[in-house]
Structure 1
């Protein structure tokens, strides 16, 4: 799983391979699949709200003639709930995170890929392997392929906040000196608080990950975390739910530091804003968002044409240059530009890559219980 990606202190060069080249123009493919243009000429995608930049969509549509109907989302719960409600209909591609496989399997609303049509060899092997282990719902079949990877850590305004040490901490979000100027996402902000609580003895080391073992193990740990956070809720300015709300918090809502995904603050940084992002001292939370096919997917040929583009190093590199996350496509890095390379090095200094915390696989009981704790915190 993602543990194989992060345990050896690897660099982004080892993950993605390549140097730095600006992708100022994207070449159109010499051959466009006639089958992809033969049916409806469109594809319906349910994906995280900032994963498909306009430049990527234009390149794909100009090169294939296929129209993309793109519905942006901000949480895994939203993806699952939409697909449950429609019984797997309405979209051709959805984008669950790697750790949600245990929640998707019993729903039986995904279908396997035809791997003869997927350029899986173009992807980082450790990330590609997730599909054949965690997402192999039936023998010999793969129901998920990687698309974007990244982390959740700390983003801040460089003109208004400075970490106390070489790296920020999840605790910065909760400290009284930052009261009324911080933000985070409900459930992951609680988990980050738990990791911080382990550093000063409020929780035993390893408690946050022990909570995944059983409902009995989770209850006392998350009760303690939730109570601790409720006591400090007045310090939180904003609870965000997607990429845009993170950017807006940092630029327009008075937030000086927050627990964020890496992409939004790094996109602002690349645009010249006084914003940056880094892995916290407790270790950033690592994830891999993938692509999966609902059982009701209708535009099959268009799906595989889209995957061809998504796994092209040039197009993948141009996309990550815009949204600030990372690509599993080997060689994508060299098309992302110098700013991307610089941002990555500054976001993961020293041994930060070796200290990443991959999100563990989540059973449904854990997700349900976590929602209850999160709602208790949010409504307090």
Structure 2
């Protein structure tokens, strides 16, 4: 998927004339509630309150901090107990199960009940290749996108935007001060080692080709990381831990989600989030309805509520992530727009590295190397 500034601004700033929302009286199932399980920072009070006020539907919210946590929860409950979920779209394979209806704990969506015109067309178009469909049917809808790059405290490590690299995590001046999520640093450091010709990997895309290639590449990347383990400052696995790596563990540099650096920057301008020259790692999150959902009509009402431009803008302002809703940019704050323009220059948008749809060997092999790094 390719994004450029003109495409993003043009797509995100076109407002729909008539938002399509199911009201409470349209939700004919047995309950006036909807049970949502989402990332911890996604459904903040201003969004929850507006949903309940606008629809009359009671929102029951459960949160998680990682895709692994979400997948294990749904697998353990056989797709029951919740109505709507927000997985990363590339992780749809984590919801497959031979015992699940149709082989997956996600419903085949009735696209006639979804305001699909509210989604930026290129995201919806490309969602199939990234994991949004199962057996040719749409199971996940694009909702928002964001990135992993470098959060940097420039009062401690003053590296220019043009020189910034994933390899900077391993510089001598980052000793004991580098923060990262183990499964992500395997990819970021891999991109760096590929760029300098030390571990060829076709920009890390070859780890998806076969188990043998994944083991070769991640094995060499892990060896390099362990040779620089004195730089380990903090591991993180969710947004709170990523922020704490800087605010409490005093890390100077880290490979983090964009929202980590952007929110730190709002409090202290010494912190910046920037794209490494090897390419910023990009993800696409989604919304879907679980196979065991008991409140299906309310679930569609919730999805269509979240696809309103105003709500997309509220979400972006709350989190720092980028909405996939047409027109959401018109409701984003000036601060959000400033940060977007600082980070996502045209050269950055043309050099994004997208997480690919998971293949069967990917997660179990990667987890082996994550464990090696963790135990180091």
Partners of 1:175 and 1:309 lie apart in 2 by 46
Matched position secondary structure for 2:146: strand
**CA distance 1:275–1:61, shift in 2 (3 Å):** farther
* More divergent stretch after superposition (174-183 vs 273-282): 273-282
**Is 2:49 the partner of 1:49?**
no
The aligned residue for residue 246 of structure 2 is 250
Distance 2:60 2:269 in 1: 31
**1:192-240 C-alpha deviation (Å, 9 max, x unpaired):** 0111112322112615211210011111111101111112122111110
- Give the aligned partner of residue 58 of structure 1: 49
Aligned residue for 1:61, secondary structure, equals helix
Matches of 1:206 and 1:30, distance apart in 2:
44
Which of 326, 337, 360 is residue 322 of structure 2 equivalent to?
326
Instruction: Tell me the secondary structure at the aligned position of residue 148 of structure 1.
Output: strand
Aligned 8 A contact 1:10 1:354 in 2: no
Which residue pairs with 1:23 in the alignment?
none
Q: How many residues align?
A: 367
User: Is the counterpart of residue 366 in structure 1 residue 362 in structure 2?
Assistant: yes
* Partner in structure 1 of residue 89 of structure 2: 98
Q: Per-residue CA shift, 1:115-163, capped at 9, x if unaligned?
A: 1111111111111124455433234x31110111111111122433321
Contact 1:185 1:241 in 2 (8 A): yes
* Separation in structure 2 between the aligned mates of residue 89 and residue 245 of structure 1, nearest angstrom: 29
Check the 8 A contact 1:105/1:137 in 2, yes or no: no
Decide whether the 8 Å contact of 2:222 with 2:373 is kept in 1. yes
What are the superposed Cα offsets for residues 172-193 of structure 1, whole Å, 9 maximum, x if unpaired? Answer: 2222211111101111111101
1:100/1:115 CA distance change after superposition, 3 Å: same
For residues 305 and 253 of structure 2, the distance between their equivalents in structure 1, rounded to whole angstroms, comes to 36
Give me the TM-score of the superposition, normalised by structure 2: 0.91
Please give the TM-score of this superposition, normalised by the length of structure 1: 0.90
Greater mean deviation of Cα atoms: 163-172 or 190-199: 163-172
CA contact (8 A) 2:20 2:304 kept: no
Q: 2:220 aligns with which of 215, 221, 224?
A: 224
Note the residue ranges of structure 1 that are not aligned, 5 or more in a row. 20-27
Matched, 1:357 2:348: no
Ranges in structure 2 where 5+ consecutive residues have no aligned partner: 98-102
CA–CA separation in structure 1 for the residues paired with 2:320 and 2:203: 31
Residue in structure 2 matching 1:144, options 140, 143, 147? 140
SS in 2 for 1:129: helix
Conserved in 1, the CA contact under 8 Å of 2:36 and 2:83? yes
Report 1:61-100 matches (<5 A): 61-100=52-91
How far apart, in 2, do the equivalents of 1:31 and 1:221 lie?
A: 49
Q: Which residue of 1 aligns with 2:292?
A: 296
CA 1:272/1:219 → structure 2, altered by over 3 Å: closer, same or farther?
closer
Tell me: CA distance 1:69–1:226, structure 2 relative to 1, closer, same or farther (3 Å): same
Query: Post-superposition shift, 1:165?
Result: 5.0
Q: Deviations over 1:18-51 (max 9, x none)?
A: 69xxxxxxxx999833133874322222211111
CA change 1:109–1:302 in 2 (3 A) is same
Q: Would you say the 8 A contact 2:109–2:289 is kept in 1? A: yes
